[in-house]
Structure 1
Amino acid sequence: MIPIALAAIAAAPAGLLGHRQLRRRGNAKALRIDTPNGISEAGFVRIGGIDQWIEIRGEDMANPVLLELHGGPGATNTFFTNRTREWERHFTVVRWDQRGCGKTFGRGEQGEMSFHRLFADALEVTDYVRRRLSTDKVVLVGNSFGSVLGLRLARDRPELYSAYVGVDQNICGTELDEGEFHATVQRLRENGKRSDAAKLEQIGPDATKWSATDWGLHARLKTVSDPFLASMLKKLILPSMWFSPQHRLRDLKDCMDGMKFAEQIGVESVHFDSWRDGTRFEIPIFIFHGEHDILMPVERARRYFGDVQAPHKEFALITDATHFAAFWQPEQFLELLLTRVRPVLADDRTWLPA
């Protein structure tokens, strides 16, 4: 769906391209940071033996640092910078294009592609951010597939993070959920997508037998099976990409190619089990979930959260939202950060610059 739409707009008439340029210039102006202690920098950093893209933005470097782990895998968050500009008044936001993603993918050779390698990269990025911003700990924010990585980092390396925030929290489990699979097939049929429904039926509900291509097909078709989510792709994701001042047309192509390339990491997750990995954490745990999320149903996230043991934990719904909840409702997410997360950080001043 998204690749087809991008191909169409890439072949758009000159008038549409001119409109794009005007909007991009306006967005670039809105992103300017000129506060005395602010930071706005982006570039490649050597991580895990390859060049990886990291952006750091905020109006005051004394604010808590949010290190985002994007979803996909391969789905950069850097398109959403204009939507989250208000966050930068209260936090320093770090966005990283992981290997196989966005500008990192466009740079060239990606090296080893595995979940284990992403975990090691994330630790290097964390250390880089801590040094660059002279801070002892950062708040870890996991979005969608990035929340799988985020849970493991929060559990295994608590000394690096002051809190963990999961958004669109993915909860992995080895048990088969045939009911959810068949519900997706039924939604496709009801929406007139009988050919897509047949493709899903062909790969079957047993995710442990899927190839990377099967995993990617299931992820895409589950997304378009939900009218709310499909509509949001058109209203949120495509405009954010098309009018992003940080991305050229070639960057957009690299992002789409990277998502396909990174499917080989996504398929690993079908063998993970969030409960078996552990539910005990040494840092505060927050899960903020879109109330209408079908990619990761609220009930599953709540069930895992109920088993979490942590010094502090909170669960909240983001209303009128499905997946990509933090970017669809950026004001709600910021309010949750300010009213739920930041007070906990204030009690543990380790986030303050060293």
Structure 2
Amino acid sequence: MSRKYSQDLAQNFIFVSWDQRNCGKSQTDTTVALTPGLYVEDAHVVTQFLQKQYHRNKIFVVGHSWGSLIGVNLVQKYPQDYAAYIGMGQLVNPGKSEMLARNHVVQQATLRKDTATLAALAKIPLSADGTYLNGLDDLLKFRMLSDKYLTSSEVAELPNPMTLCPDYQALDWMTPVMRTYKLLSSYMDGGKVNLLKQNAFQLPVYFIVGKYDYATSAELAQQYFAAIKAPKKQLFLFEHSGHQPSWEEPALFQARLRQIAAANEVK
């Protein structure tokens, strides 16, 4: 997808997309316990490689969705290595985000008298802290049931990414999800992740928020942004995007990145 929608960025940036440990084409290591902290350290190793390879003191970090959790922790721990943090599909509190998405679906299904969806939702209850009894299985069931209510005609329909990248086979996409979800969900469940408590940054912070993002609540992202204390901060609301602004409004996304880079020029 980055090849399709972000090619033009290569004219202005050294554009690096990272397959994290045990994902995509990165080496699989089953001997190490996967934790968010480990991914943060891995990301910093990648940073050090890029600094040395391309003779840069600081780099820009774009963290998307799960990557935005890693990104926040990365730049808060090693602020000296980064020019700015750009959060897109910013994860704040996974449990609360899931509850907000579910409440929206229930509200819309009730308005439309969609009794079939309401009955199916009743079979996959969500706990008070926003977790599902059967974890990934229930989450996938909810996504399949709710997709029609968590999209908007204002958002461009995207192609299947698996059809765009011959380098990746189906197993490259699904195996990491199945392998890592159970290990990492224990860190995400029960309100353990709440970035509202991590609102202090020592570098510029930018949020790119899709108006129709229900995967990582746009409402929560804006609440978090309001609480952030940083030398400089700015939020860009993408009016025709959901969870993937870089693909759903690629020209605007690229323009915003150039704007951010120009405002934070580094050597």
1:314 is paired with a residue of what secondary structure?
strand
**Partner in structure 1 of residue 172 of structure 2:** 254
Q: Which whole-Å CA distance do the structure 2 matches of 1:242 and 1:336 have between them?
A: 27
1:205 is paired with a residue of what secondary structure?
coil
| Aligned sequence identity (%) | 21
Alpha carbons of structure 1 residues 289 and 217: separation in structure 2 relative to 1, 3 Å: same
Please tell me the residue identity of whatever aligns with 1:287. Answer: F
Structure 1 position 112, deviation (Å) = 2.1
Q: Which whole-Å CA distance do the structure 2 matches of 1:137 and 1:305 have between them?
A: 23
Gaps of 5+ in 2: none
Please tell me the residue identity of whatever aligns with 1:86. Answer: D
**Partner in structure 2 of residue 81 of structure 1:** 3
Structure 1 position 300, deviation (Å) = 1.4
Alpha carbons of structure 1 residues 131 and 188: separation in structure 2 relative to 1, 3 Å: farther
Query: Cα RMSD between the aligned structures?
Result: 3.0
**Partner in structure 2 of residue 167 of structure 1:** 88
Asked which structure has the greater RCO (Cα within 8 Å, sep 6+), the reply is: 2
Please tell me the residue identity of whatever aligns with 2:142. Answer: L
1:152 is paired with a residue of what secondary structure?
helix
1:150 to 2:150 alignment: no
What's the TM-score once normalised by structure 1's chain length? 0.65
Alpha carbons of structure 1 residues 218 and 285: separation in structure 2 relative to 1, 3 Å: same
**Partner in structure 1 of residue 243 of structure 2:** 323
Is this contact kept in 2: 1:181–1:205, CA < 8 A? no
Paired residues for 1:152-301 under 5 Å? 152-172=73-93, 178=99, 180-185=101-106, 190=114, 192-193=116-117, 196-201=120-125, 204-207=126-129, 210=132, 213-215=134-136, 217-218=138-139, 221-222=142-143, 225-227=146-148, 229=151, 235-238=157-160, 240-247=161-168, 251-264=169-182, 265-270=184-189, 271-276=192-197, 278-301=198-221
Please tell me the residue identity of whatever aligns with 1:257. Answer: T
Structure 1 position 177, deviation (Å) = 7.3
Q: Which whole-Å CA distance do the structure 2 matches of 1:117 and 1:311 have between them?
A: 28
1:94 is paired with a residue of what secondary structure?
coil
1:127 to 2:45 alignment: no
Counterpart of 1:313 (choices 233, 240, 244) is: 233
Number of residue-to-residue matches in the alignment: 259
Is this contact kept in 2: 1:136–1:160, CA < 8 A? yes
Is this contact kept in 2: 1:216–1:263, CA < 8 A? no
Q: Deviations over 1:137-191 (max 9, x none)?
A: 1101000111011111121210111000001111127769755434345557839
Please tell me the residue identity of whatever aligns with 2:46. Answer: V
Is this contact kept in 2: 1:216–1:260, CA < 8 A? no
Is this contact kept in 2: 1:173–1:274, CA < 8 A? no
Q: Deviations over 1:101-141 (max 9, x none)?
A: 2122xx44343222121111111111111112111111010
Query: Could you tell which deviates more after superposition, 182-191 or 258-267?
Result: 182-191
**Partner in structure 2 of residue 102 of structure 1:** 24
Larger radius of gyration: 1
